Structure 1
Amino acid sequence: MLHYVDIRLLPDPEFPEHLLMGALFTKLHRLLVEVQACTIGVSFPGYRETPPTLGNTLRLLGPEPDLTRLMENPWLKGMRDHTEVKPIAPIPANAAHRPLRRIQVKSSPDRLRRRQMRRHGLTEQQALDRIPNDKGARVRIPFVTLSSTSTGQRFPLFLELGPPISATEKWSFNTYGLSNSTPVPWF
């Protein structure tokens, strides 16, 4: 049976909710990389597309022993004053299942031009002719801002919630707790 843990962000007058969620999610991602966990998924019960928000709760989903090991790890150090961690509980049997996946948006014309110049040996003007400034994609879906451990750069991780679908037997997630093939219980 699958279980879950809710980690709720507490209101803080000094830090906006989205900043705290970014810090919390970055810490989780680093831990999932470190322990090479592929059985832990995430969801955001407060996910809304209008206005785009992930809400104030990060829900971890997975087998109870894996969640227990994860929560015994001191990964929340530095976040304890900003979070409330609920006890591990079983997922309701009647929970719907929905895909939650990363959407990669080609939003920066400058970055796309630099890539064209590097890959195809184009001049700056040729790249500008191919990719004008108005070619940047704009999306209005929730995202979390992460910091890359390898490059140090900050980037948005856009998340798209799909419609309810059938649950799958296979339970496999990447180091962001996301999957293109495994829907997560949504309740």
Structure 2
Amino acid sequence: MWFYQEVILQPTEDIAISFLWAKVYRQIHLALVNSKDAQGVIRCGVAFPEYSDVQPTLGRTLRLLAPEASDLQRLNLADALTRFAPDYVKITTVRQVPIRKCKGYVTYSRYQPEATVMQKARRYAKRHGISIDMAKTLFPTAVRKTRYPYIQLESMTNHHRFSLFIQKQEAVEHPCEGFSAYGFSRRSSVPDF
């Protein structure tokens, strides 16, 4: 049995949806870290019902899913997002997943593109004691563009900005083995509806 709760972003003329995603997802990340069970497992995963990698978008809705309603209650989204509600986010109540509307199961995972040519060249130059310009000639230019939607986040430890690319894949139903601190898993699938 699966349960879910949705966070619906409400951008305004002054506040873009990308800005809201960054601020809200940071709080979701913290709430997920703080929701670990007695064994240290995060039992809540995320889904993006409006996800598209054709025109890369996450949409406006974040769905949090868990095998038990108590897992979502432990997450305590109302407290985690208190400064955004009700103006910028709407939080639904915990509900049971409608099995009849379920199209199957999917996984959401973080996609990390290969390092850029410049990053590779810097590392190579430092390791081998050559100039960066010389090192750049050793690496071919990347031709593949990443076509996954992403959220622009800032690391809480070193304050560097990074893009959290999100990849969705069809999966078979798999028992919940836990999720990452971002709510992702390559193994634990969530209902797609």
Q: What TM-score do the two structures reach when normalised by structure 2?
A: 0.87
Structure 1 moving runs of 4+ over 6 Å: none
* 1:7 matched to 2:3: no
1:15-34 aligned at under 5 Å gives the runs: 15-34=15-34
CA distance in 2, matches of 1:72, 1:56: 16
Whether the aligned pair in 2 keeps the contact of 1:107 and 1:137 (CA below 8 Å) is no
* RMSD of aligned residue pairs (Cα, Å): 1.9
Number of the residue aligned with 2:105: 97
CA distance in 2, matches of 1:86, 1:46: 17
Of the three residues 52, 55, 68, the one matched with 2:56 is: 52
Q: CA deviation at 1:72?
A: 5.9
Check 1:64–1:118 CA distance in 2 against 1; reply closer, same or farther (3 A cut).
farther
Of the three residues 131, 134, 137, the one matched with 1:123 is: 131
What number of residue pairs does the alignment pair up? 185
* 1:67 matched to 2:72: yes
CA distance in 2, matches of 1:135, 1:11: 34
Q: What TM-score do the two structures reach when normalised by structure 1?
A: 0.89
Number of the residue aligned with 1:110: 118
Return 5+ residue gaps in structure 2 as ranges. Answer: none
Whether the aligned pair in 1 keeps the contact of 2:149 and 2:165 (CA below 8 Å) is yes
Return 5+ residue gaps in structure 1 as ranges. Answer: none
Identity of aligned residues (%): 29
